[in-house]
A and B are shown apart, each in its own frame.
Chain A
Amino acid sequence: MSGEVPTKKIRVLIAKPGLDGHDRGAKVIASALRDRGFEVIYTGLHQTPEMIVEAAVQEDVDAIGLSILSGAHMALFPKVKRLLDEAGLSHVLLTGGGIIPAEDARALEAQGFAKLFGPGTPTSEVCEYIERAVRERSSAEPA
């Protein structure tokens, strides 16, 4: 108990839903967020939507970043959103990235997803976006 200034760190869950086994992108984003001062909870590969939402509940995160390369995003992403709402966590910023065609991204954003990022996005852009979006949301929310 040394410090005394109230501090609220931004906590982000980085998860890989589904079956693809490539988590390099997820790890790059997780490290970039950490280097920017975020607390990143990394859950590893092969997460079901249920596992992701349960982790988000326990960790009380401000944002979730889903990484997907398998093409199953239209099956998995909406399910995460639905379970998140059911768990009472509709205030959590839900974003993601990977191989997601533009029209799918638009459809998901219409369902309540925040911005989705494609390959080649600079990590700084992702970090800045999450930071800004979380701060905007938390200013609307007391605690």
Chain B
Amino acid sequence: MVERAEGDLLERFARGERTACARLITLAEARDPRFASLYDRLAARTGHAHRVGLTGPPGAGKSSVVDQLLRYWREADLGKIGVVAVDPSSPFSGGALLGDRVRMSSRLGDPQVFIRSMASRDAHGGLAHASVEACDVLDAWGAERVLLETVGVGQVEYEVSRVCDTTVVVLHPGSGDSVQAMKAGLLELAHVFAINKDDQPGGERLAADLEEMLELRSDLVRERALLGWKPPVLRVSAREGRGIDALANAIDAHRRELERQGAFAEVRRERKAAHVRALVESALHARFFGSGRGRGELGEELERGLDAGEGPYALAARLVARIAGEEPQR
């Protein structure tokens, strides 16, 4: 009942208390003003975990694959694992039904595993606005691996590849042919392909199809990913637990390759920079335009410009100049 102060929260977090870990994520999600300083104090302890994104169409079995990976890595006793599973928010009510835990039951009660469900709220691109912060909290908690599962409704959920070291695209025989995968931009995105539900017919064909497509577009794939890294196409069955070892090993191999090429630190650095850029963008927006019509330092100016019939580009340029403290150009 008696809730403790923030300093105490970090202390409890440092002792490994799971309720403290959970509360930090809640503060991030709620955009609580106290989170900023807490996060900055945690940031020094992050950067260790291998961050693995899992994306793919709905029904591909992403949660089941996550569950099997949890089981594999925990049975091998390879350290703590954090999971952040994002499900969509209803655009109508703002509510969400988060059901990923239903499939992630094989390591329940394991104190080395921490699973957090998250609603996408107003974010797009398959993640939630606090997904990155949640991953960082779990990283600071001491996770060796943090798995980030996307919403899985859109074709392009490339956001995940920007915030993860390794991106796994999970497909299943019913999810369409390789042209669909190409359309969705998955070829450039994936470091590892997992063809799940290989206990059903069609897995072999989809795998062969993808392999062929990857071969044809190898120029593009190589450029996007690591030099010389060819995304493996692995057939798995989460239901039967088949092929999970190969998948886990491919994910770990990608991390080793990143480290070998010295890209692990670079990826992290760029990710931090992107995070700061996003924070700046969001703070600028809040300061200058507030959250509604006519709000913020420039909200009224914007309305006046529109009333005066000023062209959108000219108006935007003038507002940017105002922000930068420059003289209006004539």
Contact across chains for B19 and A1 when beta carbons are under 8 A apart: no
Find residues 90-143 in chain A having any chain B CB closer than 8 Å to their own CB: 90-91, 140-143
Query: Complex formed: what's the CA distance from A133 to B32 in Å?
Result: 22
Shortest C-beta distance, A108 to chain B (Å), equals 19
B122 interface hit (Cβ, 8 Å): yes
B27 interface hit (Cβ, 8 Å): yes
Number of interface residues, chain B, beta carbon within 8 A = 47
Q: Counting chain A CB atoms within 10 Å of each CB, which of B18, B22, B27, B117 scores highest?
A: B117
Nearest-CB residue, chain A, relative to B111:
A54
Contact across chains for A143 and B31 when beta carbons are under 8 A apart: no
Contact across chains for A51 and B108 when beta carbons are under 8 A apart: yes
Nearest-CB residue, chain A, relative to B98:
A41
Query: Complex formed: what's the CA distance from A7 to B26 in Å?
Result: 10
Shortest C-beta distance, B70 to chain A (Å), equals 13
Shortest C-beta distance, A139 to chain B (Å), equals 12
Contact across chains for B97 and A40 when beta carbons are under 8 A apart: yes
A20 interface hit (Cβ, 8 Å): no
Contact across chains for A1 and B278 when beta carbons are under 8 A apart: yes
Nearest-CB residue, chain A, relative to B101:
A43
When A and B form their complex, what is the total count of cross-chain residue pairs whose Cβ atoms lie within 8 Å? 120
Query: Complex formed: what's the CA distance from A95 to B99 in Å?
Result: 20
Nearest-CB residue, chain A, relative to B130:
A1
Contact across chains for A143 and B23 when beta carbons are under 8 A apart: yes
Q: Which of A39, A54, A88 contacts B98 (CB 8 A)?
A: A39
Q: Which residues of A contact B25 (CB under 8 A)?
A: 60
Contact across chains for B117 and A41 when beta carbons are under 8 A apart: yes
The segment out of A28-36, A63-71, A72-80 that lies at the interface is A28-36
The segment out of B87-95, B168-176, B177-185 that lies at the interface is B87-95
Could you give, for residues 15-59 of chain A, a 1 whenever the CB lies within 8 Å of some chain B CB and a 0 otherwise? 000000000000000110111111111111000001100110111
> Per DSSP, are chain A's interface residues mostly helix, strand or loop, or mixed?
loop
Could you give, for residues 84-123 of chain B, a 1 whenever the CB lies within 8 Å of some chain A CB and a 0 otherwise? 0000011011111111011001001100001111010111
Contact across chains for B282 and A34 when beta carbons are under 8 A apart: no
Shortest C-beta distance, B106 to chain A (Å), equals 12
Query: Complex formed: what's the CA distance from A140 to B19 in Å?
Result: 19
Contact across chains for B123 and A2 when beta carbons are under 8 A apart: yes
Contact across chains for B1 and A90 when beta carbons are under 8 A apart: yes
Query: Complex formed: what's the CA distance from A91 to B181 in Å?
Result: 47
Q: Which of A9, A31, A43, A143 contacts B3 (CB 8 A)?
A: A143
Assuming the A-B contacts A30-B97, A34-B97, A55-B101, are A3 and B3 also in contact, with contact meaning beta carbons closer than 8 angstroms in the complex? no
Query: Complex formed: what's the CA distance from A34 to B119 in Å?
Result: 11
Contact across chains for B94 and A2 when beta carbons are under 8 A apart: no
Query: Complex formed: what's the CA distance from A50 to B29 in Å?
Result: 26
B30 interface hit (Cβ, 8 Å): yes
B217 interface hit (Cβ, 8 Å): no
Shortest C-beta distance, B36 to chain A (Å), equals 11
Shortest C-beta distance, A49 to chain B (Å), equals 11
Assuming the A-B contacts A41-B117, A60-B22, are A6 and B95 also in contact, with contact meaning beta carbons closer than 8 angstroms in the complex? no
Contact across chains for B98 and A4 when beta carbons are under 8 A apart: no
Contact across chains for B97 and A3 when beta carbons are under 8 A apart: no
Find residues 114-149 in chain B having any chain A CB closer than 8 Å to their own CB: 114-117, 119, 121-123, 129
Contact across chains for A88 and B278 when beta carbons are under 8 A apart: no
Query: Complex formed: what's the CA distance from A34 to B121 in Å?
Result: 12
Q: Which residues of B contact A43 (CB under 8 A)?
A: 101-102
Q: Which residues of B contact A54 (CB under 8 A)?
A: 108-109
B306 interface hit (Cβ, 8 Å): no
B220 interface hit (Cβ, 8 Å): no
Q: Which residues of B contact A140 (CB under 8 A)?
A: 1
Q: Which residues of A contact B22 (CB under 8 A)?
A: 57-60
Contact across chains for A143 and B119 when beta carbons are under 8 A apart: no
Assuming the A-B contacts A31-B97, A39-B96, are A4 and B285 also in contact, with contact meaning beta carbons closer than 8 angstroms in the complex? yes
Measured CB to CB, the residues of A under 8 A from B are 1-9, 11, 30-31, 33-44, 50-51, 54-55, 57-60, 87-91, 140-143
Subset of 15 A-B contacts with CB under 8 Å:
A1-B282, A2-B123, A4-B282, A9-B30, A34-B97, A36-B95, A40-B96, A43-B101, A50-B109, A51-B105, A55-B108, A57-B18, A58-B22, A143-B27, A143-B32
Measured CB to CB, the residues of B under 8 A from A are 1, 3, 18-19, 22-23, 25-27, 29-34, 89-90, 92-99, 101-102, 105, 108-109, 114-117, 119, 121-123, 129, 278-279, 281-283, 285-286, 291
